[in-house]
Amino acid sequence: MTATAQTAETADGGDILIVDDNPNNLAVLRALLGAAGYKVRPALSGAIALRAVAASLPDLILLDVRMPGIDGYETCRRLKADPRSRDIPVIFISALQDTQDKLSGFAIGGVDYVAKPFQGEEVLARVRTHVALRRIQCQLESMVAARTCELSNSEARYRVMFEGSPIAILVYDTDTLEILAVNAAFTRILGYTAAQALGQPLDFTIAPIQRATLRALAHTLTEHSEEAAYTGRLGFLHRDGASLDIEGVLQRIGYPGHKAQILMLQDVTARRHAEDLLQLAAKEHQRQLEKSAYYDALTGLPNRAQLTERMRQGIDQANRTGCAMAVCFLDIDAFGTLNDSHGRDGGDRLLIGVAERLRASLRGGDTLARIGGDEFVLLLTGLKRDDELDPLVQKAQAHLAEPFVARGLSGLTVMLSASVGITVYPQDNADPDTLLRHADQAMIIAKQRGRGQCTRFDRESNLRITAHQEAVARMRAALARREFVLYYQPKVDMRAGSVIGAEALIRWRHPERGLLPPGAFLPEIVGDELLVELGDWVIGEALQQMAHWRAEGLELGVSVNVAAQQLAHPEFIERLRVQLSRFPGMAAGRFELEVLETSGLENIDLVEHIIGACRSLGLAFAIDDFGTGYSSLTYLRRLSADTLKIDQSFVGDMLDDPGDLAIVTGVIALAAAFRRAVVAEGVATVAHGEALLALGCARAQGYGIARPMPARDVPGWVAHWPDPAWQALAGRPPAP
């Protein structure tokens, strides 16, 4: 018989329930028993196991002892208390190996006990024997029920013996230990016919050295409950004298006319090849589990757990050799925006490409790991001189900077860069987790300096990171305590003599430092999620204030500043839609978003998409500080913003500086050519207003018109503007 045939014959469709709170143990046992032909059902807890048994009775249960909630012992008690499940054999599998633990398991109805870490061959043997024994017990129950049909003892014995069973079975008298019956498998395995075995002592074919042990076990078994059993290896002798390695099970049974016990035998030697194959399958499954625990599923690179281990090895190497180890933390610049633009599949393809590029830059012995999202770590070991490090990092950045033309990106060419933070052991004499954190902190500083930057960790940078984290915590607490407030600076049409709106400007009523302008605190949270949360708060407060003014009879448009970080957030439009839904009809062209030109509008296509989405919600869009960045003309050409705001640095000096005057003149002309509205910021005097009107710019804001003021002061100011000085400009036409 082939190993495959043996396996299928042994399993015979047995239904096994495995109960263990460790998914790895479940997976290994499931693979082992599934490959042997059993139907396997897993359960991660005692509660799940009880529900599974209630739904469908298994042939056998493998039960862990230590589990949260209902442990294995309590699960077994409940199973044995239920008439439907009390006869299902339960094998405990546990790391608890004290004798008392095993006795506790047997006392509540367990039939066997396998110690962890378990051996696959042992588990398979125990499962086979107890499944077969369970079927014999079921047959015995059928025999007893059939007595009313006056079945003869010989027919009953025949049914008990399961002549077709592959398990060798002996029934023997408890008092005399004489063999009462054997089945055909006994003859096949041991070579003795039934006639040669009947009437012989139980141990007649066992190795002499184990005969006393077997007799002692048989007598001891009579002192325990009917569920008690012995399972273990026994050395038998074939009729021809050959030694056989046999797995034996002793258990009490009911037998007509006798106090009897049953001995079930399996030839382990005959199954060894099949079990070796199963062991190999289990080991391969375990190898796959270990790989998933230490390697990234998407790129195949080492993950954080594997990286930590290699960092420990690198530290040991550095201590032995005196060479240095560099931990380089790489974060792909603006990857979130790319991922949003190209979808998850496109983003995954990019990450795979990044991994390939970075892997190509490695030396032998170096490690590249992916520790999450778009974050990678280069571990460079064996550095003998400090000047070796920079060229290696630059090489990795150069590989990454080559254009990507990836499938799944609609044929687009994508340019990538990475911000890199570096720390070096033993100069930074720390453990792996701390080294990784220091490199991460250095990367954050590099990212704040711009795309593709590289920064080394030092104590000062650590202090800056710590200060940043503390600032974020303070400001988050201030937001919860409602210490932030909006001030409003009016915007006017100087020629019409009317107020056209107001810009909402955040202030912090600091309990110790007083009223702080945004420049005193917002730079401290750039890059943190709190900046987005604070931006959402500003929008909500401004909309609520507009509604309040409307209730008072003042229809006044409001503009709010939106950071590029907030604008690029994947949920920006949806959050905005939710905010607007609380104030229906409030936008209608009177609510405007302003974004700084210098804030880093890296993905112009995305920004244009957002502008379109905002316009569909009834919002207007303005580019603030226009003219101060390097891409002013690009933004003007590609972004359909409604308004350009001339930066106050040009307006403030335009009366004295010909260069600033030329810039202001040029921006006004560009706005007219591209049919954009234009607003001049920083108007400090009426003379500035006169000059702007002469150039064709009528809309303005600045200290010369009004300083930012609390919301409660705005209605009164609007009612009294323009004052006499500005009234003189009303109606003045632009110069020809």
Please answer whether residues 692 and 680 qualify as being in contact, where contact means their C-beta atoms are separated by less than 8 angstroms.
yes
Q: Would you say residue 736 lies in a domain?
A: no
- Mean pLDDT computed over every residue of the chain: 82
Do both 555 and 585 map to the same domain? yes
Give the separation between CA 414 and CA 332, rounded to whole angstroms.
Answer: 12
**Among 404, 426, 457, where does a domain finish?**
457
637 shares its domain with 680: yes
Provide the residue range defining the domain that includes 705: 474-722
Q: Residue 319: pLDDT above 90? A: yes
Number of structural domains (the chain) is 2
Residue carrying structure tokens 């390939």 = 356
Residue 221 lies inside a defined structural domain of this protein: no
CB-based contact 209:284 (threshold 8 Å): no
The pLDDT tens digits of the residues spanning 461-513 come to: 667 777 888 889 999 999 999 999 999 999 999 999 999 999 999 999 999 99
Last residue of a domain, one of 424, 457, 490: 457
In sequence order, the 6+-apart residues with CB closer than 8 A to the CB of 266 are 125, 128, 129, 167, 168, 246, 247, 248
CA distance 18 to 37: 15
Q: Which of 36-50, 332-346, 474-488, 717-731 has the lowest mean pLDDT?
A: 332-346
309-316, long-range: CB < 8 A, 24+ apart: 310/367, 310/369, 310/379, 311/379, 311/432, 311/435, 311/436, 312/432, 314/379, 314/381, 314/425, 315/425, 315/432
Residue 293, sorted as left (phi over 0), alpha (psi -120 to 50) or beta, turns out to be alpha
Examine the domain organization and report whether 304 and 331 are in the same domain.
yes
Shared domain check, 532 and 429? no
Q: Do 437 and 486 fall into the same domain?
A: no
Q: Which residues contact 203 (CB under 8 A, 6 or more apart)?
A: 177, 210, 211, 214, 215
Q: Are residues 481 and 578 in the same domain?
A: yes
CA distances from 595 to 17, 235, 698 (A): 61, 85, 21
Q: Which amino acid would we find at residue 652?
A: G
Answer yes or no: do 449 and 481 share one domain: no
**What are the tens digits of pLDDT across the range 583-613?**
887 766 689 999 875 555 566 777 888 888 8
CA-based nearest residue to 110, from 167, 149, 183, 61: 61
Residue 478: both structure tokens together:
């201030």
Same domain, 434 and 492: no
User: Which pLDDT value is given to residue 100?
Assistant: 67
Q: Give pLDDT, residue 607.
A: 81
According to DSSP, the β-strands at 15-19 and 60-64 are parallel
| CB count in 10 Å sphere of residue 56 | 9
Q: What is the distance between the alpha carbons of residues 621 and 595, in angstroms, rounded to a whole number?
A: 8
Whether 567 maps to a domain, the answer reads: yes
Q: Report the range of poorest mean pLDDT among 368-382, 551-565, 592-606.
A: 592-606
Tell me the mean pLDDT in the region 285-294: 62
The CATH number given to whatever domain includes residue 440 is 3.30.70.270
The C-alpha atoms of residue 381 and residue 363 are separated, in whole angstroms, by 9
Statement to judge: residues 524 and 432 lie in one domain: no
